[in-house]
Amino acid sequence: MAEKHQLVAPLQGISCHCWNGDQSCLAISPNDNSMQIYEASTWTKVADLDEHDLQVSGIDWCPHTNKIVTASHDRNAFVWSWNAEEQRWKPSLVILRIDRAALDVKWSPDGMKFAVSSGAKCVPICHYEQENDWWVSKMVKKHKSTVTCLSWHPSSQLIATGSTDFKCRVISAFVAGVDAEQQSGPFAEVMPFGEVYAEFNCQGWVQGVCWSPSGDALAYCGQDSSLQVVHFGGAQPVERSIRFGQLPLSCLTFLSENCIVGGGHEMNPMVFTGGASDGWHFDKMVDVKEEKASSSQADSGVSAARARFQAMAKRGNDSKKETEIWTQHASAITCIQRMGSPGDAAYNKFSTSACDGRVVVWNLPS
């Protein structure tokens, strides 16, 4: 079942979106320098925030602190806090110290830090300094090309990054004085900040990356129409590769330990299922075309023959070409977000936004 909402003009599109903790509000960027906030119960716009100078490329809403972080091609980030007295969102500028566009941004699961991917081949890890009342960034500089995407491990001390250097990396994001006792996640030994725990190959640009709810598996998708899933826990990580015939994915998320959903240029979310022991495979498209029985009944007998000869005379063929787009989205999917309570082991609801200006809420049967 799908619930479709046309929030902005089809030619404008939506570059990214995210939900607050209880999914009562939605934040989107209509492919420009602004962020719009909608009340989900009525789908009415309640805020329009435009502090950035260039396109907003990433939005994330922390469920613990209710703060929103935005990143933009103007190389800056803003942390937005709700001011109850003034009844408005107040921005706090974060100087990222990058000389190329910011491309993605994510809060850590504990809400203490956020990370920004960029075209500057680095990832600023930002945390708040109470005594100075500002956000401080520490740089991860282990990439050889643009960092397109990132995802936090549930421990909040590791990040996975995808890059146009055909690599997916797992990097230490432990910040002393901010994090509690250092953890290594699925790895044997802890590493200092910015050091690479593991590096995995792809045959194309890495466009999307995500951790499983437990943090024991990592998935990333490439521009070569592939999905790679890495399972940790043994002596060595176990990599699984899935090739599919559809157009490439640009974003993905785990719905459970055994289910991944991704979206991209195919305009239709794709479901992959599997596990560490059984491997992974493409399962199905989420959006399924409804067959029209009335049209098949009408195309029978004399009327079908007449339509066939008319098609041959007018178009030089004997078949009817379908021109209507039947999928919920009419353009490439730009962002996918799972919906549920933080820390859930499984989700059956997620949302997608696309270049057609729509947000679609999907409900998968469990």
Distances in whole angstroms, Cα of residue 36 to Cα of each of 10, 16, 359: 16, 11, 13
Express the helix, strand and coil content of the chain in percent, nearest 5 each: 5, 50, 45
Q: Which two tokens stand for residue 210?
A: 């995500």
Q: Within 13 Å of residue 273, how many CA atoms lie on the same side as its CB?
A: 5
Question: What does the DSSP assignment read for 70-115?
Answer: EEETTSEEEEEEEETTTTEEEEEEEE---SS-EEEEEE-TTSSEEE
User: What is the distance between the alpha carbons of residues 104 and 147, in angstroms, rounded to a whole number?
Assistant: 9
Across the chain, which distance is largest between two alpha carbons, in Å? Answer: 83
Q: Spell out the long-range contacts of 273-278 with Cβ–Cβ below 8 A and sequence spacing 24 or more.
A: 274/229, 274/240, 276/217, 276/231, 276/233, 276/238
Cβ neighbours, 10 Å, residue 189: 6
Q: Strands across the sheet with 113-118, in order?
A: 102-107, 113-118, 123-129, 134-140
pLDDT for 201:
96
| Per-residue pLDDT, 307 | 67
Q: CA 363 to CA 148: how far, in whole Å?
A: 28
pLDDT tens by residue, the chain, 366 residues: 789 999 999 999 999 999 999 999 999 999 999 999 999 999 999 999 999 999 999 999 999 999 999 999 999 999 999 999 999 999 999 999 999 999 999 999 999 999 999 999 999 999 999 998 899 999 999 999 999 999 999 999 999 999 999 999 999 999 999 999 999 989 989 999 999 999 999 999 999 999 999 999 999 999 999 999 999 988 899 999 999 999 999 999 999 999 999 999 999 999 999 998 889 999 999 998 877 655 444 455 666 666 666 666 655 655 555 568 899 999 999 999 999 887 777 899 999 999 999 999 999 876
- What's the half-sphere exposure (Cβ side, CA atoms, 13 Å) at 131? 1
Measure Cα distances from 41 to 3, 25, 65, 329 in Å.
Answer: 13, 8, 22, 21
- What pLDDT was estimated at residue 322? 56
Report pLDDT for 310. 67
Quickly list DSSP for 6-18. E-S-TTT---EEE
Q: What is the per-residue pLDDT for 313?
A: 65
Q: What is the pTM of this model?
A: 0.89
pLDDT of residue 298: 46
DSSP 338: E
Report how far residue 210's alpha carbon sits from residue 58's, in angstroms, rounded to the nearest whole number: 15
Domains of the chain and any CATH numbers: 2-290+327-363 (2.130.10.10), 291-325 (no CATH)
